Structure 1
């Protein structure tokens, strides 16, 4: 996957085009995020079908850093609350590392996301780190 492919990946994510998005993934890929892991395409789709009912995510591309086994992308994800979601519901579903976004509020969060690729160039592993800027 190169930077041009990644822009298509982000477009598919922002459009909620899960069918196209999944063409970038190995069948057994793992997304590790906020203290939980989603393994495989069906679990990925289930997680985002649930989460995107309550929160809109819009990925803003910043930079692409290619590597030997994958790449790192610097993005800002704008989370907008769409429907009331409680911490209890997140905890019950095993997503206790996540924080609900209040309805009507948009929270921008900067990430550095590490993507590892398999031999076919498909994403086999995703893990993000949140950038916390120094206070002014």
Structure 2
């Protein structure tokens, strides 16, 4: 189970940009699919977030949390703030077609539903969806 306490540790590692610690929460290899991105290795996970967080500060505010032995579900507001221009061209070059460009100082907030499939206490799969506006 990925309990609320463990999830808070995961988010703390994520916010600290400690991608090795983040990856330790996952089975090897992980499977993440969201907004047209598919991540299938520990290194791909680290590379993706290193690139993204070079351009934005990202944080999550959890609204609702539910967990069982096989699933942890999060309802959260994800906030991203541009710290370096992230252009459509840069996103497309990395295959991130489902992501939005963001300018320095621009803030985007999105309500997301994040589902973590759990296997022996580790994250096996991540799936995300945006709430309709």
Query: Normalising by structure 2, what TM-score?
Result: 0.93
Where in structure 1 do 4 or more consecutive aligned residues deviate above 6 Å? Answer: none
2:19 matched to which residue of 1? 18
2:132 partner SS? coil
| Corresponding residue for residue 122 of structure 1 | 122
Which of the pair has the greater relative contact order for Cα pairs under 8 Å at 6+ separation?
2
Tell me, yes or no, if structure 1 residue 47 matches structure 2 residue 35.
Answer: no
Structure 1 runs not aligned, ≥5 long = none
CA RMSD of superposed structures (Å): 1.2
Q: CA separation in 1, counterparts of 2:63 and 2:110?
A: 12
CA distances 1:17-75 after superposition (whole Å, capped 9, x unpaired) = 21221111111111111112111210000111111111111111222112352111111
**How many residues are treated as equivalent by the alignment?**
132
Counterpart Cα distance in 1 of 2:13 and 2:54: 17
Consecutive unaligned residues of structure 2, counting only runs of 5 or more, are none
Instruction: Supply the distance in 1 between the matched residues of 2:123 and 2:69 (Cα, whole angstroms).
Output: 13
Which whole-Å CA distance do the structure 1 matches of 2:6 and 2:65 have between them?
11
Matched position secondary structure for 2:91: helix
What does residue 63 of structure 2 align with? Answer: 62
